[in-house]
Structures are given as C-alpha cells and as structure tokens.
Amino acid sequence: MADTDTLPDNISISRFNELLSHYNVLIKSISSEKPTKTGQPSLLELDEYRYKVAVEAFQSDEPKQQMSHDDVKRLVDWKLRHGKFRPTLMKLVSSNDGEVVRKTIQEAVAQYWLDNNTTKAMDAIAKLKGIGPATASLMLSVHDPGRVIFFSDEAFWWLCCGGQKLPIKYNAKEYQQLNVVADKITKRLGVGATDIERVAYVVMKNDASQPAPSLNRPPSKPLVDANRITKMTRALQIAAALGLASQSLCNPLSARPVARQDSTIDRSTLNGKFFVGYQAWFRKPFEDNGNSHWTTNTPTPEVGHVSVDMIPDVTGYPSECLFDTPFTRPDGSFAQFYSNDCDGVVDLHFKMMADHGISGAFLQRFYGYINEANGGWINILNSAKAAAEKYGRGFVVEYDLNGAATASTNVTATFLADLAALSGITSSPAYMHHEGKPVIEIWGFGIVNEVTADDGIAIVTALKNAGWYVILGVQQAWHAELVENEPGRFGPVYRLADMIQPWTVGAYDINNYPGFLSGRQAVEDTGALRDLGIDSSIVVWPGGSSSNANPNDPFDHFPRWNGTFYQMQLDGAVSLKPTFIFGAMFDEVNEGTSIYPVLRTRDLPTNQRFLGIDDDMAPDAYLQMAGDAAARFAAAWR
C-alpha cells in the first residue's frame, strides 16, 4: 500500500512533482534491465515515443498527422514492455486491416473533439481486434494528454485502490471510476492526466510493501526463502478472497484426495472430460526430422541458445530416448532432453495422463507440418493412437492454422485431404466423438492473420458437411466479432461452430483472474455461448515464461504461485461446467505452460536460467491438480 502522503487525496503539488521527477530515472533503470533484440527499440525509446513523439504528432483537434496502424502497434509495443506482457495481444492488434484502423481512430477522435465524450470514443476504438478499454484509452490519451488518462494497472491501483494491487476487470465502468479520480487531481493540483499516470507508475513500482515476484532466480538459499514468504503471503491473500484459504498453499494437493476415473473413458462424448493439449514436437538434433523445438538458432541446445524455459523431469523415460545437454545441474550431471520420435516417450506421456485421471489429449497438428518430409508427425499420431487405446484414453486431432496462407493455397482442400489420409488414425476406437460425430478442432481463427473470415466460413462448412463436430479455438475477445453487416469480421465463422474455445493463455494473472472469471468467462463466454446455442470449452493454464526463446519477454512473467494460480482456474472452470476443460498444455516447456513433471528449482542447471517448480512440490504436482479437478468435473456432469 502506498504511503499516506502519496495517496491521491493527500498528495501535495510539491510531492507530486518530486515523484514525477523520478519517472525518467526509473524508466532508464527498467529499460537497462530489459534486453532487446537487434533492430528493436528499447523501452526507453518506446517511452519517448509514447510521451513525446506521439503526443506532438497527434494531440489537438487538428493533429499534424493521422494515427496509422504502425503507430497503434508501436503504442501497443510500449504498453506490453511498460506494463503487463500479454502474449497474444500484438498478434490480434496486428491482424486488423490498416485502413480500417486509420479510419476507425480518425472518426472516433473527431467525434471526441466535438462532444468530449471519452466513453463513446473509446467504445468506437475498441471495435478493433485486440483493443479493449485499456488500449483504447492509450490511443485517445496521446490525442488529449491533458485530460485523458491511460488505463494502466498502476494508475488504477493508485487512484482507485488506495495503492493496493487488487484485481482489475478492465471494463468501461472501472475506467470511468479512474477518470473521475484523475480529473479531481487534475483540477486540484493543476496537472495533466499523463503526468498523473507517470506518478502512479513511480508510486506503485517503488511500493515495497507488495513486491512483485523476482524476475531473477535467487543466488542463495536465504533469498529463496524470503521470496517464497512473499509469494505465499500474496497467494494466501488471493486464496482467502476466493474462499480457498482452507486449502494448504504450501502443498495445494493436501486438501482433497484424488478420485480417479474409470480405466477406460467414454469416448462417445466430451461431456465432463478434462483434456490436455499435446505438442509432442521435441526431437533429437541431427536426425533429419525437422525442428527439434529444444533450441533457437543453433543445431543443438547450447548455453544462450535454448528455446525452453522449463526442463522436463525425465525420470522413467527410456534411456535410448534421452540425450545430454550442456546445462550443468548442481550435482555436476548434465540435464537431459528427450525425443518424441523415440518409441516409448508418447506411450509414457499417455500413461501419465491415465495415472492421473486425465481424459486424454488434443494432438497439435500445425498446418505448416502437414506435408512434412519423413512422416515424422504421422509417426507421432500413430504412437498417440496406440497409447490412447492401450491406456483407455481419448484423443482428438487439433489443427493449428499457423503456417496456413489462404491467398496461396486451398486450405479447405488441404484439411479434407489430410483428414482422408488420417482416416486410419481417426477411425481408432479411442478417437473422441460428440453428438454422434467425430471431433475436430481448428485453432487460430481471428488470431492467424493469413486466414480470412471468408476462408473460415468455407473451412468450417466443408468440415461440417463431411460429418465432423467442429470446435474452434478462437481469440479471447471473440464476442467482439459478433458484429452484423461488417465485412471481414469472424462472427459468421464463430456462429457456424459446434463449440467455441476462447484462448485465454496470457489473458490474466493471479490478481485479475477473479474478475475475469466472474465477468468475461461467466457472462461473455459461457453465458453468451449458451444464448447462441453453441457448446463451450474453458482453457486453464498453470503460468507462463518464455524468455529463453524470446529474450525480450520477462522471465516468469506469469508466476505459478506454488500452484495457487492453476488451482484457482481449475476451481473456476469446474464451477462454470463447460462441456469440457482444456489444459494448456501438457508438455509446452517452451512457454512454461507445461503440467507434466519438470525439475524443481533446486535441481536446475547453474549455467543457464530456467524456471522450476517450487522445491516442496512433487514433480507431478500439476498433473495431480489436473486429475483432482478432472474427477470433480466428471462428478459434476454425472
């Protein structure tokens, strides 16, 4: 909580100016700690653009120039680097048509200067894909920096929460609340809205009473203990607010025994199931079998050249499927990676699913890999089929549109041809059906830029005509596309779906998940889909970190909080009772969302930064949590 002399109602103009003078020093310090890729602007450069260059270009009712799509993306880049990182936001914003962006913002701003209606202008800007109230306020702020404040976390916490880092819903009502308080300070102290925003940033970043999780792995045991106390204190606060305080947060698994499912699941329905997304894309280097996904731009994993943030615990893996890496563990041994191509790895993974009561897996099939040489992915699919049959699990083929380009290929024809080629796999008794039809998922409509809404209509129509039950994995703000008579919107595609699965990875953290659950998921997702007569699936994820593959990304940018973050989502998903729950992901160590066994923090290599699970957790702790939720969810459907 902020000091009393810095609270909005108490702050004096001298104290305000003192804090404002600290802003540039703070940004320089943060910028120096955030490495940038060659050719990319630093946070300091982006900050100068946001507060100086953009303001000089766009402010007033007669700006020097109109805001372009590139200007919008640059401001969004600043927002992501300056505040909370959201993995899919830039993709969504970039997917807008440039001329539509220019025209939408120009018209919204012109109307704003006529009626000074901030809410109306932001609503108009928020019609663009990926633009919500917060980002819309940023676009409007550079046009009128004296009166329009950017809806940042720090500004809301300082002005509306008494300096406490409470959950934020990011809705129009909250922005109105923020604007009212900011306006009072503007009038009382004679300062501008953007100066208030910067003072809020200084106050909240320097607030020592609620420190953010450390971005660097602690170098010594005492500091580990101190950080864990901080994490556990915050986790207990969140858990108490959600009524979870009776559950031990030192060991989230201790409160409830896990009741397992039957030995063979019912493959005729998705109802009450808990599936995981399964990449199965890891391979040994130099085997002429495509991207290994263990490394970035070198043939083999090396210190400084590795594309995963977590290291699998390979206990029980066939020894012939493992290979040493140069990453040295505290005991002097080398960390080992595995190959999914090796007999026994996929089998072991499905055994883990069965042992923990997880229904099975959605097998990721990237469009760009459909025609991969040597049949590597076909081998993986066949291994998954055999393992699902062996362990009584179910499986589904999930196509990822990344790699598709409808301008140069017939994606619909490619899908139909590939499904025909996979008939020996999809005819397996372990293949999932729902409402009498085999299940297929297509992920990426509204997210992958190269596939248009018209293409989506053709693809979904063809699949449904071929007898498939079609699930669409879509952008988190999918409901914004349900706009009538606007060419290019994905609403007509979504209305064709049998089921919608909004992709929520990165959409919230432990602080704002409760608001997201009660608002977006309960009302705008589950409720809206029910009204449309479309089935729903909810995505849950344990946390995220992808800094080794993407050095500009913060390390551990979505902390797991000793499993509390995941447990909150599992409980929330069970309470909303969608058709099925989707766990993202089983094995995604690249982005740190994996739930299969990984190394604890104490066992991590010392010559490369990796993220581990907490030392007091079992390596399979997240599988246990998922299995517990799966049992409770299945019971809710009975």
- The pLDDT of residue 526 is 86
Express each pLDDT in 169-218 by its tens digit: 777 778 888 988 998 999 999 999 999 999 999 999 885 333 333 323 23
| Rounded distance between C-alpha atoms, residue 589 and residue 596, angstroms | 9
**CA 555 to chain CA mean position, Å:** 14
Question: Could you read off the pLDDT of 140-158 as tens digits, one per residue?
Answer: 999 999 999 999 999 999 9
Residue 235 pLDDT exceeds 80: no
Same-domain pairing of 379 and 455? yes
Element (H or E) spanning 256, and its range?
none
At residue 233, does pLDDT exceed 70?
no
User: Is it the case that residue 296 has pLDDT exceeding 80?
Assistant: yes
CA distances from 553 to 81, 510, 540, 549, 587 (A): 8, 19, 21, 9, 20
How far is it, in rounded angstroms, from Cα 166 to Cα 89?
22
Of 170, 185, 205, which residue constitutes the final position of a domain? Answer: 205
Q: Tell me how far apart the alpha carbons of residues 454 and 452 are, in angstroms, rounded to a whole number.
A: 5
CB 318 within 8 A of CB 342: yes
Residues 546 and 406 in one domain: yes
Angle between helix 411-421 and helix 453-465 axes, rounded to 10 deg: 30
Co-location of 279 and 199 in the same domain: no
Whether residue 224 is predicted with pLDDT greater than 50 in this model: the reply is no
Instruction: Reply yes or no: is the peptide bond before residue 585 cis, omega within 30 of 0.
Output: yes
388 located within any domain: yes
Per-residue model confidence (pLDDT) at position 288: 58
Q: Which residues contact residue 497 at a Cβ distance below 8 angstroms, ignoring those fewer than 6 apart? A: 460, 470, 471, 472, 534
In this structure, the answer to whether residues 180 and 296 fall within a common structural domain is no
| Region 254-271 average pLDDT | 70
Per-residue pLDDT band at 524 (split at 50, 70, 90): confident
Over residues 591-595, the mean pLDDT reads: 98
Question: In the listed set 205, 238, 257, which residue is the last one of a domain according to the structure?
Answer: 205
Phi, psi of 549 (to 5 degrees): -80, -30
- Let me know whether 56 and 133 are in one domain: yes
Distance CA 288, CA 397 (A): 24
What would the two tokens of residue 436 be?
A: 């009498």
In this structure, is residue 116 part of a structural domain? Answer: yes
What is the average per-residue pLDDT within 399-405? 89
Is residue 455 assigned to a domain?
yes
Full-model pTM: 0.64
Q: Are residues 177 and 72 in the same domain?
A: yes
Q: Give the mean model confidence (pLDDT) for residues 23-41.
A: 85
Sequence-ordered strand ranges (E) for 505-579: 535-540
Domain-located, residue 248: no
Cα separation, 229 vs 348, in Å, equals 36
**pLDDT for res 17:** 92
pLDDT of residue 207: 58
User: Is 122 within a domain?
Assistant: yes
- The pLDDT assigned to 493 comes to 96
DSSP 314-368: -TTS-GGGEEEEEEE-TTSPEEEEE-TTSTTHHHHHHHHHHHTT--EEEEEEEGG
Residue 144, both tokens = 């009128």
For residues 291 and 198, membership in a common domain is answered with no
Mean pLDDT of 221-232: 36
- Whether 499 contacts 535, CB under 8 Å: yes
Domain that holds residue 306: 273-431+448-637
Tally of domains within the chain: 2
Whether 297 and 180 share a structural domain: no
* Tokens describing residue 588: 């995604």
What was the pLDDT predicted at 262? 53
d(Cα 132, Cα 145) in Å, to the nearest integer? 19
Dist CA 574 CA 425 (whole Å): 31
Between 309 and 241, residue with greater pLDDT: 309
Radius of gyration of the chain, Cα coordinates, nearest whole angstrom: 25
What CATH number does the domain containing 564 carry?
3.20.20.80
Q: Residues 159, 293: one domain?
A: no
pLDDT tier for residue 287 given thresholds of 50, 70 and 90: low
| Residue 591: count of CB within 10 angstroms of its CB | 25
pLDDT at position 627 = 96
The mean pLDDT value of the chain amounts to 87
Residue type at position 405: A
Residue whose token pair is 């819309």? 136
Structure tokens at 276: 């995981």
- Whose structure tokens read 């062996």? 390
Element (H, E) at 331: none
Phi, psi angles (nearest 5°) of residue 4: -65, -30
CB–CB of 133/122 below 8 Å?
yes
Residue of 448, 449, 428 whose CA lies nearest to 439? 428
Between the two ends of the chain, the Cα-to-Cα distance in Å is 46
238: in domain: no
* Tokens standing for residue 542: 């344990």
Helix axes 621-637, 345-355, angle to 10 degrees: 50
Q: Say which residue, 3 or 173, is predicted with more confidence.
A: 173
Both 196 and 312 in a single domain?
no
Query: Strands 433-434, 437-445: parallel, antiparallel or unpaired by DSSP?
Result: antiparallel
CB 321 within 8 A of CB 337: no
- Would you tell me the crossing angle of helices 133-141 and 98-115 to the nearest 10 degrees? 70
Instruction: Specify the range with the lowest mean pLDDT, choosing from 118-122, 318-322, 460-464, 601-605.
Output: 118-122
Query: In the prediction, which pLDDT does 344 show?
Result: 96
pLDDT at 32: 87
Domain presence at residue 211: no
Residues 198 and 277 in one domain: no
The pLDDT assigned to 61 comes to 83
Question: Domain ends where: 151, 176, 205?
Answer: 205
Does residue 160 sit in the same domain as residue 285?
A: no
In a domain, 237, yes or no: no
